[in-house]
Structure 1
């Protein structure tokens, strides 16, 4: 029996990168997966890889009506949600002194507001044994030049998990943070630059960039009953970058 047999999972930002890496692993482990994202072309390409045990819903986590439509679809087709991987995120560099309101609003709207309502709107479909996974970052515990707004969103997400673990006491629903370090995704390479990102990977104790499949494997652990005594915690998949 596979670890996620019969489970229904929702993954935001599921069309590429870490979200797609997790979706592949969840399907391999027996789950039916809904991937949610803004770009229909990316979702279509992801479905071609994922096969019949996946479904795509197009929309943005910043649009509450889109989230309502996502969960209405899940409810009509599956009746419940067992796993929510609130993974959608964005980032950009801006040093202190050059941060604009648009820069702040865009990153906080996606990474904090979008994540909050992704989780909150899922709760009526969740029950005992449910797992909520929030995508954090090694930047949430490190100082990173020109990356303060993004880093602050990830620190906020870390506190969401601590507080929501208390809010969810007695429900049987767990919530944990999965915090990647430098991982090979299109967004990361676009924001940082390939050469700079490779150098960051080389600076980790493991000495390389991580792959989405490696983060997906840890997401599957947090989604499964193998992590049944974990809530309010944070697991780093960062090659040791923020650990030593």
Structure 2
């Protein structure tokens, strides 16, 4: 018996990195998973890696409300309802105060905040009572990092969403939690600096911040997401679960 047997899950940004690793963990625990992403070729590769029988890929932009509507329509048609929503899709961007362009602000907030809000809101009609909502936050929502104020603000917003939505949804017994990784070795992080050299500096810096002196693995986030999605966390709601090697804790 898997911890998620019979459950239907949606993972946004599920084609690579943390989303893909979480999809693999969910499927291993018995869930049927819908994953979304913008790039069809990457989605197709993810489906092959996860296993076709337990996953459906839907090409969608997490920041576009029409795309979100389409995702919910597909899920409703194929499975009727959801039990788990992992709002994982997010993008990075850096600029110090004094040099923040409007486009960077709009792009990051559109995906990381607006996209999360409307993904969850549009999922509510098909989300079963007693379900689990997981928001992918970040240690950067709690720490001050040079040049990261816009990105960090989006992750702090998700922490606030988790608190408020926990209260909004209490009568439906839907749990809402924020899962906040530290530095995780993902394709997005490997290009975070813009160039290979800069990205390596970012990765080395994040690894050095960890008490464990390493980056985390996407599968480690996936396993934590299984905990928050399953009945193992039946008395856990409104929290921020840090999976960060101690980075934001000391």
| Residue equivalent to 2:227 | 221
CA contact (8 A) 1:6 1:30 kept: yes
2:185 maps to 1:209? no
Q: Distance in 2 between matches of 1:228 and 1:191?
A: 36
CA distance in 1, matches of 2:94, 2:60: 25
* 1:80-95 equivalences in 2 (<5 Å): 80-95=81-96
* Alpha-carbon distance in 2 for matches of 1:229, 1:194: 40
Provide the C-alpha distance between the structure 2 equivalents of 1:203 and 1:233, rounded to a whole number of angstroms.
23
Matches within 5 A, 1:68-87: 68-87=69-88
TM-score by length of 1: 0.98
Question: How far apart are the structure 1 equivalents of 2:209 and 2:142?
Answer: 17
Alignment partner, residue 22 of structure 2: 22
- Shift of residue 125, structure 1, vs aligned partner: 0.5
Q: Is the 8 A contact 2:192 2:202 kept in 1?
A: no
Residue correspondences, number = 244
Whether contact under 8 Å (1:174, 1:230) holds in the other structure is yes
The alpha carbon displacement at 1:169 in A equals 1.4
Secondary structure at the aligned position of 1:127 is classed as strand
Question: Map of 1:73-152 to 2, 5 A cutoff?
Answer: 73-152=74-153
Gaps of 5+ in 1: none
Secondary structure of 1:170's counterpart equals helix
Q: Aligned ranges for residues 50-69 of structure 1 at < 5 Å?
A: 50-51=50-51, 52-69=53-70
Render the CA deviation track for 1:200-239: whole Å, top value 9, x for unaligned.
Answer: 2133101100010000000010000100111111100111
Give 1:236's aligned residue.
242
Q: CA deviation at 1:7?
A: 0.3
Give, in whole Å, the separation in 1 of the partners of 2:209 and 2:163: 30
Which aligned pairs between 1:192-203 and structure 2 lie closer than 5 A? 192=193, 193-203=199-209
Counterpart of 1:44? 44
Report if the CA contact (8 A) 1:129-1:173 is conserved. Answer: yes
CA RMSD of aligned residues (A): 0.8
Deviations for 1:65-92, whole angstroms, at most 9, x for unmatched residues? Answer: 1111111010011000000000000011
User: Which range moves more in the overlay, 192-201 or 95-104?
Assistant: 192-201
Q: 1:143: Cα distance to partner?
A: 0.2
Unaligned regions of 5+ residues in structure 2, if any? 194-198
